[in-house]
Amino acid sequence: MLDQTPRSSRRNTLTGLLLPLSDRCLVLPNVAVAELIGYQACTASPDQPAWLLGWIDWRSQRLPLLSFEAACGG
């Protein structure tokens, strides 16, 4: 879908989180973040790809825990 917002009314700032990775930083816009949670152990299986660290439970949902570095080939 094309953004029909006139340029004069677009925001010039981005509010987000800066995530330090092993060799770079990732800017994650706040609108992409539902909630920050504390550490919890994940359930892993030996046949999953290296970028999939395992699964965690969040608000009665099972979510994948990903390694961004491994997914980018690092």
Phi and psi at 68, nearest 5°, equal -60, -40
Nearest to 72 by CA among 36, 22, 19, 16: 22
Q: What is the pTM of this model?
A: 0.65
Residue pLDDT, tens place only, 22-49: 888 989 999 999 899 998 999 888 899 9
| Domain range list for the chain | 38-74
Amino acid letter, 55 = W
- Count the residues in the chain: 74
* Residue with more model confidence, 8 or 38: 38
User: Which pLDDT does position 68 carry in this prediction?
Assistant: 87
Phi and psi at 66, nearest 5°, equal -105, 150
